[in-house]
Structure 1
Amino acid sequence: MSAAELTRDAFLGGRLHLWQPRAGYRAGVDPVLLAAAVPARPGQSVLELGCGAGAAVLCLNARVPGLSLTGVELQPFYAELARRNAAENEAPLRVVEADLQRLPPELRAQAFDHVIANPPYYERHRSTASEDAGRDVALAGETPLVEWIATASRRLAPRGYLTLIQKADRLPELIAACTARLGSLRVRAIQPRVGRKAELVLMQARKGGRAGFVLEAPLIMHEGARHRVDGESYTPEVLNILRGGQALPWSA
């Protein structure tokens, strides 16, 4: 892909710059929210399943120094973009080009403190294929959601955390997939505005966790009941995440 077919976009108020395809799947707000919700500490290891161009894992790296980072990406073009973005942002990210259901032996031998993921939002049999192949795989891949959870569970170290973002209407599927694999589930709904239904959810689960289910206070994205003026209308909390690179903590 030529330089004219790429854009270099700023994230976290300019602390991070990422190359992305001008057309096709482009990272936006969702991976930034995902990264903000990961309770990682310096010295820990992180695996991102389906890392794309690296937006989520590199946003996490910008907030938490000293992490050991690995990304798995099926599509060669996006894997190469993730490597380029990691190098230009001086991030210690290793990118493995592989299907998450057929990870290479060296990766299957590893366990991670955190696994993060932004699985495709749509089921392949219920969606119309995109004309752009990269966008189609990112938004409606062939791998069932339960396999994302199963792979994450196998790669987590004991007491390790899975953090992911997904469409709200697939929450029952997520919870069912975690049964007998992961515990201590926490869910935070992401609402566009006060009074609107949630469109996305963040979910955290823990390997070996035994705590009860927790429904966190929702994250409200925009101020006001409706969009009234041109320009951004993010709430202060969301602005602190998107521009300031701050964490989105889970309750104690």
Structure 2
Amino acid sequence: MAEITQDLLLGGRVHLAQPAKGHRAGTDAVLLAASAPVKAGDVVVDVGAATGAVGLMVAARESAGRFVFVERDPDLAELCRRNCRENGLRADVAVADVLDRTSRQAAGLMAESADLILSNPPFLEEGQARVSPDQGRAAAHALPAGGLEAWLKACTGLLKPKGRLVLIHRADRTAECLDILGKWLGGMELRFVHPSADRPAIRVLLSGLKGSRAPLSILAPLILNGPDGRFTPEAEALHRGEATLL
């Protein structure tokens, strides 16, 4: 495997080994984890887990659940196992392609088995943008054509009735996410993430309940940076693990 770095998340509460190059855990992972309403006893599935950053940060807040990490790259999955051990988390790491039902079933991922699904899916699909020459980064950022609907359908299929899906995506794909997820989820909540108060949103945090008929809610936006370019107090607290977005 390529060079590995040892990084700290949530002010040192989570230790994360991850590749030095390619896709690396950052603000998106922090915000997704901070939006996860986990409680003791929940079956929590981190779909597209890479080295496990999101699930590990959620477990740092509430470890009394069953955590399952789903990652198709065997090398990243092995790093995820290592990270779980080093953070004292007993968890299952499934090597599976979430887009392939046979692969999911072979890895033991059963329909309607999860209370909470967390996902930071690849943001683009083939043909939408130039793909990075780095294989790891390309796999993390691009799905095959039509892949977003297949990804979200697989995620919702893993949810129990009234289970919750929480995901982060590009703000400019909000309408597409809502159109797809509206087939299965209700009570959806949106929180837009802006790089600064005077700039358009770049991310959306979306949450919904399987089978709910409750209406859509738009939550207060999150502003990441102040006029000085530094994290706002709220963004800083989120990165240090001293706050959530719940």
Same fold? TM cut 0.5: yes
Residues 158-237 of structure 1 correspond to what in structure 2 (within 5 A)?
158-224=161-227, 227=229, 233-237=230-234
Aligned to 2:245: 248
1:161–1:109 CA distance, 2 compared to 1 (3 A): closer
Which is further off, 124-133 or 48-57? Answer: 124-133
Instruction: Give the match's secondary structure for 1:196.
Output: coil
Can you list the C-alpha shifts for 1:170-223, whole angstroms capped at 9, x where unaligned? 101100111221111110000011121000000001101111110111001111
Equivalenced residues, count: 241
Task: State how far apart, in whole Å, the 2-side matches of 1:78 and 1:6 are.
Answer: 11
Can you list the C-alpha shifts for 1:70-96, whole angstroms capped at 9, x where unaligned? 011111111111111111111122110
Q: Which runs of 5+ in 1 are unaligned?
A: 228-232
Aligned to 2:135: 133
The one-letter code sitting in structure 1 at the alignment partner of 2:105 is: P
Aligned to 1:230: none
Shift of residue 133 of structure 1? 0.8
Can you list the C-alpha shifts for 1:20-75, whole angstroms capped at 9, x where unaligned? 11111111111111011011111111011100010101010011120210011111
User: Does structure 1 retain, via aligned residues, the 8 Å contact 2:112–2:161?
Assistant: no
1:76 aligns with 2:79: no
Which is further off, 11-20 or 176-185? Answer: 176-185
Can you list the C-alpha shifts for 1:230-252, whole angstroms capped at 9, x where unaligned? xxx11111111111343211xxx
Task: State how far apart, in whole Å, the 2-side matches of 1:54 and 1:172 are.
Answer: 28
Instruction: Give the match's secondary structure for 1:30.
Output: helix
Instruction: Give the match's secondary structure for 2:94.
Output: strand
Task: State how far apart, in whole Å, the 2-side matches of 1:212 and 1:110 are.
Answer: 23
Aligned to 2:115: 113
Task: State how far apart, in whole Å, the 1-side matches of 2:234 and 2:41 are.
Answer: 27
Task: State how far apart, in whole Å, the 1-side matches of 2:242 and 2:82 are.
Answer: 21
Instruction: Give the match's secondary structure for 1:176.
Output: helix
Which of 66, 71, 90 is the aligned partner of 2:88? Answer: 90
CA RMSD of aligned residues (A): 1.4
Shift of residue 160 of structure 1? 0.6
Task: State how far apart, in whole Å, the 2-side matches of 1:110 and 1:169 are.
Answer: 30
User: Does structure 2 retain, via aligned residues, the 8 Å contact 1:184–1:213?
Assistant: yes
User: Does structure 2 retain, via aligned residues, the 8 Å contact 1:191–1:219?
Assistant: yes
Task: State how far apart, in whole Å, the 1-side matches of 2:152 and 2:185 are.
Answer: 9
Task: State how far apart, in whole Å, the 2-side matches of 1:129 and 1:76 are.
Answer: 21
Instruction: Give the match's secondary structure for 1:246.
Output: coil
Identical-pair percentage = 38
Instruction: Give the match's secondary structure for 1:104.
Output: helix
1:239 aligns with 2:236: yes
Aligned to 2:50: 52
Poorly superposed stretches of 4+, deviation over 4 Å: none
Instruction: Give the match's secondary structure for 1:38.
Output: coil
Instruction: Give the match's secondary structure for 2:187.
Output: strand
User: Does structure 2 retain, via aligned residues, the 8 Å contact 1:36–1:245?
Assistant: no
The one-letter code sitting in structure 1 at the alignment partner of 2:135 is: A
Shift of residue 99 of structure 1? 0.7
User: Does structure 1 retain, via aligned residues, the 8 Å contact 2:111–2:159?
Assistant: no
Q: Which runs of 5+ in 2 are unaligned?
A: none
